Amino acid sequence: MSDLLLEDKQRVYRELDAVKSDFAARGWFPGTSGNLSMRVGGFEPDRFAFAVTASGKDKAASTPEDFLLVDQTGKPIEATGLKPSAETLIHCEIYRQTGCGAIFHIHSVYNSIVSDLFWERRAVPVEGVELIKAFNIWDEEAVIDVPIVSNFADIPRIVPEVKERLDRRIPGILLRKHGIYAWGRDAFEARKHLEAFEFLFEYVYRMALLKR
């Protein structure tokens, strides 16, 4: 491993560890769910690598075995006994499609409910709520649709749907009755987007109840 990659790996692991502790404190990783990743530098544009959470870990704990480096196909690029997140292939596809720098996945009650409530239209509509601006969409009374894809147990089957449904304007995609993937150019932006999505999903859920 080059010195440059090693330095970047250490920086990225530190950043991911801080995000992980913060999200765990918010209750965003129930039952070991969720996964995080961040791109590491030093690769050509057509090849890339990223750090991803190891599968099945207690994400509230901080240990030396929380992350590993994988390539653009999701395979480890260093000798390790750790298994990358079971959902690594979804991260690979999102990096390929968007060129983003960080991807965060969490399960919450609100994102799970709205992903099922609006399953028939395959997207959650959000209308005119101020926090849409967190996605760099500045139109007054903007209306957005957050795409929802199937939650197949076989992760490779989800990947083509992510490819087809991903909307470059919207930095997130829902898996039905499962959770959200949110991304950004770096950890700061991915976290900002995720917080905005979770706010908007709670808003949509509560508004749907009020309107019943």
Ligand X SMILES: CSC[C@@H](O)[C@@H](O)C(=O)COP(=O)(O)O
**Binding-site annotation, residues for Zn(2+):** 105, 107
Q: Which does 32 bind (CB under 5 to 8 A by kind): Zn ion, ligand X, none?
A: ligand X
- Report DSSP state, residue 1: -
Three-class SS state of 176:
coil
Measured from the CB atom, is 35 or 144 closer to ligand X?
35
Q: Which does 111 bind (CB under 5 to 8 A by kind): ligand X, Zn ion, none?
A: none
Measured from the CB atom, is 31 or 45 closer to ligand X?
31
Min CB(84)–ligand X separation in Å: 8
Q: Is 39 left (phi over 0), alpha (psi -120 to 50) or beta?
A: beta
What span, in angstroms and rounded, lies between the C-alpha atoms of 16 and 18? 5
Burial 82-120 (b: 16+ CB within 10 A, else e): bebbebbbbbbbbbeeeebbbbbbbbbebbbbbbeebee
The tokens for 109 are 């009650």
Min CB(76)–ligand X separation in Å: 14
Q: Which does 31 bind (CB under 5 to 8 A by kind): Zn ion, ligand X, none?
A: ligand X
Residue with tokens 């920086």: 11
Three-class SS state of 35:
strand
Measured from the CB atom, is 53 or 101 closer to Zn ion?
53
Measured from the CB atom, is 119 or 203 closer to ligand X?
119
CA diameter of the chain: 59
Site size with Zn ion, rule: CB under 5 A: 1
Min CB(205)–ligand X separation in Å: 21
Q: Which does 85 bind (CB under 5 to 8 A by kind): Zn ion, ligand X, none?
A: ligand X
- Report DSSP state, residue 29: S
Query: How do strand 102-106 and strand 35-40 relate by DSSP bridges?
Result: antiparallel
Q: Which does 98 bind (CB under 5 to 8 A by kind): ligand X, Zn ion, none?
A: none
Where do contacts with ligand X occur on this chain (CB under 6 A)? 31-35, 53, 55-56, 85-87, 105
Residues that bind Zn ion (CB under 5 A): 179
